Structure 1
C-alpha cells in the first residue's frame, strides 16, 4: 500500500485503522501516513469519549439524545473531511479538533 491508501483506510473503522497501522509499521512509513494515522486515531478517541459520556445518560433526558445525535453527525462530517484531505494528499488538520492531535500519540512514529 502506498501512503495515500494507508491514510484513507485509517479513517475507515477501527479495523481499517489497525490494518493501516500495521502496514505503516511494516514498510509503509511516511510523514503523510503518520499525520493521517494520528488524525484518525484522535477522531476515534473523540468518538469513544462521546459514547462513554452520552450513552449512559441518554435515557434520562431527551435533550441529551438530541445533543448526542448532533455531535455524532458533526463527528461523521469531520471524518469525511479527513478522508477528503487524505484523498487530495493534503496534510491539513480535521476541522474543530484536528489541531489537538498533531503533536500527540507518539507511539505512531515515523
Structure 2
C-alpha cells in the first residue's frame, strides 16, 4: 500500500512562503523594540535579507535617529525643551504606527517622515 500523506507541491510552497513571511514579520516587530531589538533584527535579517523586514528595520532606524536628534535638541534651554517634548510625543506616535504596520504585515511608511527614511536609508 502506498502512503498518500504527502502534501502537494503547491501546498508545500504556500507553507514555505508563510514561514518566511512569519519570520520576516517577527524580525520587523523586533526592530521596533528598543535599540537592542533593532540591532538584533539587523543581525537576524543579515542572512536572508527579507524585503519586508529590511523595510521596517529602515523605518525603525529612522525613528531611533530622530529620537537621538530630539535628545540633542533637548539640551537647548527652554525652546529646545519644548521642541524636544513635542517631538517626543510625535515620535511615540510614529513608533506606534510603525509597530502596528509591522504587526499587520503592512509595508507602509510611518507618517510624516517615513518617505524620508526610505530615501535616506535606501542603501542599507
**TM over 0.5, shorter chain:** yes
- For 2:25, the equivalent position in structure 1 comes to 4
1:98 to 114, 121, 124: 114
Tell which has more relative contact order, 1 or 2 (C-alpha 8 A, sep 6+). 1
**Are 1:46 and 2:62 matched, yes or no?**
no
Residues paired across the two proteins, number: 103
Point out where structure 2 has 5 or more consecutive residues left out of the alignment. 1-21
Distance 1:95 1:106, change over 3 A: closer
In the alignment, the residues of structure 2 paired with residue 84 and residue 51 of structure 1 have an alpha-carbon distance, to the nearest angstrom, of 25
- For 2:53, the equivalent position in structure 1 comes to 33
In the alignment, the residues of structure 2 paired with residue 75 and residue 101 of structure 1 have an alpha-carbon distance, to the nearest angstrom, of 14
**Are 1:79 and 2:95 matched, yes or no?**
yes
- For 1:66, the equivalent position in structure 2 comes to 82
**Are 1:18 and 2:39 matched, yes or no?**
yes
Kept in 1, the 8 Å contact 2:73–2:83? The answer is: no
- For 2:11, the equivalent position in structure 1 comes to none
Point out where structure 1 has 5 or more consecutive residues left out of the alignment. none
Structure number with bigger Rg = 2
**TM-superposed deviation, 1:65:** 2.4
- For 2:7, the equivalent position in structure 1 comes to none
RMSD (Å), alpha carbons: 1.6
User: What is the TM-score normalised by the length of structure 1?
Assistant: 0.85
In the alignment, the residues of structure 1 paired with residue 102 and residue 47 of structure 2 have an alpha-carbon distance, to the nearest angstrom, of 20
2:120 is paired with a residue whose SS is: coil
